[in-house]
Amino acid sequence: MIAPAPDPISSLLTLINGAARTLQAVYMNGSDYVPSLDDTEPHPLDGKLSAPDMKEAVQVLEGACAQLCATLARPNHTVLNKFFLTALEPNCLRLALMCKIPDILQEKPSGMHVSEISKRCGVEPSKLARILRLLSAKHCFREVERDIFANNRLSVQLLASNPLYSLGLHMTGDTTAGASKLAETLTDPEWGPSSVPVHSAWNKFTGQPMAMFDFWAQNPEMHEHGERFGIGMLGWGTTVEAATIVTAYPWTDLGPGATVCDLGGGVGAMAIELARAYPRLQLKLQDLPDRMVQAETIVWPAECPEAIAENRIEFKAIDFFVEPPIAGCDVYYLKNILHAFSTSNCLIILKGIRKSMKPGSRVLIHEYILQTADSRDEPADRQLKKAPAPLLANYGEGRIRQYHLDVSLMVLVNSQERTLDEYVKLGEEAGLKFMKVWEFGDMSGGGAVCK
C-alpha cells in the first residue's frame, strides 16, 4: 500500500477554492458579472486573450476537481463512467452537429419542444429527447422543462457559423471512427511498431492505402473533409489562444526590418497577426502552391492589404521535403507542423531550414510540449511550469487536451506530440542548439539556433 500524502483532500479543496475565486475576480473585474451557464450571449471576456492567471486558474480548477472526484468516488464507479464517456458522448454530439440542433434552437431562445425539433431534423422525437437529455446533463444544452430544450453557453459554440462546428464534425467523425481501431492497430505485429503514416488507426478503419490528408486531396468527393478540417483549425487556434505568441514572444528584440518566415503557415493567419502588431517586420509566407494563391489573391487583400501595399509580405510556394525555405531569415517559425510528421520527416524539414539559416538565425517551434506526470526533476533550462501539489506535475485533467491531441495524431496520421527532451534531440540531430522555451499557458514556443 502506498502511504497517502498528508491530507490531500484539504489541499485539493484549497486549490479548488482559490482557483474558483481567482476566476470569479477576473470576470468581475472585466464586466461586473460572472456568466451563467444559461447565457447564450458572449461574455465580454470571451473574445479576448486570457490573462496568464486566468489560464493557470482554469487548469488548476479542472485538474483538482477531477483528482478530487477520482480520489473520493469508488474506483469502479469512476471507471464505468469513463467507459460511457468515451463510447457515447462524442456520438451524441455528432448527431447534434449533423442535425444543426443549436441553429434550430436559436429560433426559440426560451426553449423548443422536442417534437418540433424532430420535425426540423428528421430524428424520431423520443430518441432525440434522450440524446439531448444526456448532453444537457453534461451542461451542453439546457432542458427547460420536460422535453423542452434550449441552447446555453456551451451549445452556442456549436452553431454552424462557429469554426468549432467544423472541428466537432471532424473530431466526432474521422477521429472517433479511427480511434475505434486504435487497439487493433497497436497490437498488429506489422502496423503497431511502424511510424509509416499509412499504418494509422484511421487507415485500419477505412481500409484506405493512402494517408488521410493525401486521400482527401486526391479524391474530389472527399474535398469537403479537407475544407472542414481547415475551418476547424481556425476554431482550434482561437480556442487554444495560439495568438498569445504575438505578445508573449519578444518580437521587438529582433529590431526593425527583421525577417520572419512563417513556414507551412497556410494562408498566413498568424503572419497576419504579426503584420498588424509589428509593422517593421518583413514577413515571408511559405506553404503549398494552392495555399499561396489563396493567401496572395484572397486572404491578405481582404485581411491585411497594407502589408501588401508596403511590401512587408512575400508569398512563395514550397514543398519543404524537396527544397529549403527562403534563405537568410532571422526567424523560421513553425506552428503545428512538426507534430504532423514522423521523426525522419521532421529531420528533413529542420535540416532544410538549417541550410537556409544565417549566423544569428533561429527556429521558433510553436507546439504543445508534453510533460510527464512525474516531471519534477529536470534541468533548470528545460523546466516547464509544474502544477502545485498534490496535483500531478502536468496538471492532469487541467492540461488533458495536449494528450488527447497526441493520441489523435497517432490515430489519424501515425504522428505525435513530443516532450521537450524529444524536441531538443530532434534539433540536435538537425544541427540546431536549444536556446529557450516560452510557455504561453496552453501551447509553448521553443527557440533553437545553429550549432
What are the pLDDT digits (tens) for 158-191? 999 999 999 999 999 999 999 999 999 999 999 9
Which of the listed CATH numbers 3.40.50.2300, 3.40.50.150, 3.30.70.1060, 3.30.70.1400 matches domain 240-450? 3.40.50.150
This prediction's pTM: 0.93
* pLDDT value, residue 339: 96
* pLDDT value, residue 90: 95
- Please give the Cα distance from 173 to 156 (Å, whole number): 20
Domain ranges of the chain: 8-72, 99-158, 163-237, 240-450
What φ, ψ does residue 44 adopt, rounded to 5°? -55, -30
- Is the model's pLDDT at 30 over the cut of 80? no
Cβ-contact 97, 172 below 8 angstroms: yes
What are the pLDDT digits (tens) for 226-281? 888 888 888 998 999 999 999 999 999 998 999 999 999 988 999 999 999 999 99
Instruction: Kindly list the catalytic residues.
Output: 339
Provide the mean pLDDT of the chain.
Answer: 93
* pLDDT value, residue 32: 87
What are the pLDDT digits (tens) for 182-198? 999 999 999 999 999 99
- Is the model's pLDDT at 372 over the cut of 90? no
What top-level class would CATH report for the domain 99-158? mainly alpha
Burial 304-316 (b: 16+ CB within 10 A, else e): beebeeeebbebe
